[in-house]
């Protein structure tokens, strides 16, 4: 019988099939996947010489879909982050945001925390900053990962 910790470890191991649709054009890489009839887009935008910002959405929106696909979505994001790390040589920082509070609660941030823990342990990054900033009724949590 598997222990609960093993289930958590396997949680992000089943990504959807994705494709790279924009490759390094204007310092942007865009990946897409179809999940439950919805389009997941994951963008990496170069913000400085070695600094990249990641952003993802479903059908152009960043709110929670409520369709129960969050594990596949985050598994896919994790798999795309791995490809991005292998494809791009000039990475020092990757930053991205998660919303918490208001109508989204704290579950998204907890899921991001698990995602980050798995990614950094496998790909040589460290979480160097986690910054809360107010954005209306919600709070945006900015994550900063640094390549070791």
Domains and CATH numbers, the chain: 4-147 (3.40.630)
Provide the pLDDT for residue 95.
96
Burial pattern 59-90, b for ≥16 Cβ within 10 A else e, equals eeeeeeeeeebeebbbbbbbbbbeebbeeeee
Tell me the percentage of the chain whose pLDDT exceeds 90: 49
Per-residue pLDDT at 116 exceeds 50: yes
Residue 44, pLDDT score: 96
pLDDT at 4: 47
Is the pLDDT at 136 greater than 60, yes or no? yes
Q: How confident is the model at residue 86 (pLDDT cuts 50, 70, 90)?
A: very high
Of 4, 7, 12, 47, residue with least CA distance to 120 = 12
Query: How far, CA to CA in Å, does 72 sit from each of 9, 114, 135, 136?
Result: 14, 14, 27, 29
How far is 8 from 51, CA to CA, in rounded Å?
A: 30
Please report the sign of the dihedral spanned by the C-alpha atoms of residue 93, residue 72, residue 122, residue 130.
positive
| Across 66-92, average pLDDT | 87
């Amino acid at each position: 019988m598997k222990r609960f910790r093993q289930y958590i470890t396997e949680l992000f191991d089943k990504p959807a099939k994705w494709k790279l649709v924009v490759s390094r054009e204007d310092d942007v890489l865009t990946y897409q996947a179809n999940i439950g009839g919805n389009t997941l887009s994951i963008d990496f935008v170069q913000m400085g010489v070695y600094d990249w910002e990641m952003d993802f959405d479903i059908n152009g929106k960043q709110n929670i879909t409520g369709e129960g696909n969050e594990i596949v979505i985050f598994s896919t994001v994790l798999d795309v982050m791995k490809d991005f790390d292998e494809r791009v040589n000039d990475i020092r920082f990757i930053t991205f945001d998660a919303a918490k509070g208001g109508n989204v609660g704290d579950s998204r941030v907890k899921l991001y925390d698990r995602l980050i823990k798995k990614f950094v342990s496998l790909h040589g990054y460290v979480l160097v900053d986690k910054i809360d900033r107010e954005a209306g009724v919600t709070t945006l949590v900015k994550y900063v990962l640094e390549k070791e």
